[in-house]
Structure 1
Amino acid sequence: MKPKIVAYKPLPDDVETYLRKHAEVLNVDPKDEAAFVAALKDADGAIGASIKISPDMIEGATRLKALSTISVGFDQFNVEDLTRRGIVLTHTPDVLTESTADTVFALILASARRVVELAEWVKEGNWTASIGEACFGVDVQGKTLGIVGLGRIGGAVARRASLGFRMNVLYTNRSPNEQAEKDYGAKRVELDELLAHSDFVCLQVPLTPETRGLIGVKELKKMKPDAILINASRGPTVDEAALIEALQNGTIRGAGLDVFEHEPLPADSPLLAMKNVVALPHIGSATLETRHAMARNAAENLIGALDGTLTQNIVNRDVLAR
Structure 2
Amino acid sequence: MRTCLILDDYQQAALALADWTRLADHVAVSAIAEHIPDADALVARIAQAEILVIMRERTPFPAALLERLPRLQLLVTSGMRNLAIDLAAARARNVVVCGTDSSPTPPTELTWALILGLARHVASEGRAMREGGPWQSTIGTDLAGATLGILGLGKIGTRVAQIGRSFGMRVIAWSPNLDEARAAAAGVERAASKEALLEASDVVTIHLVLGDRTRGLLGPAELRRMRRDAFLVNTSRAPIIDQDALVRALDEGWIAGAGLDVFETEPLPADSPFRRLPNVLALPHLGYVSRNNYRTFFTQAVEDIEAWLAGAPIRQLG
Q: TM-score range by the shorter chain?
A: 0.7 to 0.9
Residues 257 and 169 (structure 1 numbering): CA distance in 2 closer, same or farther, change over 3 Å? same
Residues 217 and 65 (structure 1 numbering): CA distance in 2 closer, same or farther, change over 3 Å? same
Question: Structure 1 stretch 11-20 or stretch 291-300: which is displaced more?
Answer: 11-20
Counterpart in the other structure of 1:184: 187
Give runs of aligned pairs for residues 95-134 of structure 1, distance below 5 A. Answer: 95=103, 97-128=104-135, 131=136
Cα distance in 1 between the residues matched to 2:211 and 2:288: 21
Residue of structure 1 aligned with 2:268, choices 232, 246, 265: 265
TM value normalised by structure 2: 0.82
Give runs of aligned pairs for residues 117-156 of structure 1, distance below 5 A. Answer: 117-128=124-135, 131=136, 135-156=138-159
* Aligned amino acid, residue 260 of structure 1: F
Counterpart in the other structure of 1:56: 64
Cα distance in 1 between the residues matched to 2:129 and 2:276: 18
Gaps of 5+ in 1: 317-322
Residue 307 of structure 1 deviates from its aligned partner by 4.2
Residues 262 and 61 (structure 1 numbering): CA distance in 2 closer, same or farther, change over 3 Å? closer
Q: Deviations over 1:197-217 (max 9, x none)?
A: 221111122333443322221
Equivalent position SS for 2:59: coil
* Aligned amino acid, residue 86 of structure 2: N
CA contact (8 A) 1:73 1:206 kept: no
Cα distance in 2 between the residues matched to 1:175 and 1:303: 39
Residue 196 of structure 1 deviates from its aligned partner by 1.8
* Aligned amino acid, residue 76 of structure 1: A
Residues 68 and 188 (structure 1 numbering): CA distance in 2 closer, same or farther, change over 3 Å? farther
Cα distance in 1 between the residues matched to 2:86 and 2:266: 20
Cα distance in 1 between the residues matched to 2:66 and 2:203: 42
Cα distance in 1 between the residues matched to 2:266 and 2:289: 16
Cα distance in 2 between the residues matched to 1:56 and 1:270: 30
1:78 and 2:86 matched: yes
* Aligned amino acid, residue 196 of structure 1: E
1:222 and 2:221 matched: no
Residue 252 of structure 1 deviates from its aligned partner by 0.9
Residue 254 of structure 1 deviates from its aligned partner by 0.8
Question: Structure 1 stretch 101-110 or stretch 143-152: which is displaced more?
Answer: 143-152
Residue 277 of structure 1 deviates from its aligned partner by 1.3
CA contact (8 A) 1:150 1:173 kept: no
1:8 and 2:7 matched: yes
1:89 and 2:97 matched: yes
CA contact (8 A) 2:15 2:31 kept: no
Cα distance in 2 between the residues matched to 1:236 and 1:260: 8
Equivalent position SS for 2:141: coil
Equivalent position SS for 1:184: coil
Residue 279 of structure 1 deviates from its aligned partner by 1.0
Residue of structure 2 aligned with 1:239, choices 235, 242, 260: 242
Residue 231 of structure 1 deviates from its aligned partner by 0.7
Q: Deviations over 1:259-300 (max 9, x none)?
A: 122222233333333322111111112222322222223332
* Aligned amino acid, residue 146 of structure 1: G
Larger helix percent: 1
Q: Deviations over 1:222-267 (max 9, x none)?
A: 2122211101112222222211111121111110111122222233
Cα distance in 2 between the residues matched to 1:218 and 1:206: 21
Counterpart in the other structure of 2:27: 24
CA contact (8 A) 1:232 1:284 kept: yes
Counterpart in the other structure of 2:47: 38
Cα distance in 1 between the residues matched to 2:231 and 2:17: 42
Cα distance in 2 between the residues matched to 1:74 and 1:173: 21
Aligned-residue CA RMSD (Å): 3.0
Residues 301 and 54 (structure 1 numbering): CA distance in 2 closer, same or farther, change over 3 Å? same
* Aligned amino acid, residue 99 of structure 1: P
Residues 7 and 163 (structure 1 numbering): CA distance in 2 closer, same or farther, change over 3 Å? same
Cα distance in 2 between the residues matched to 1:20 and 1:184: 46
What percent of counterpart residues are identical? Answer: 29
Gaps of 5+ in 2: none
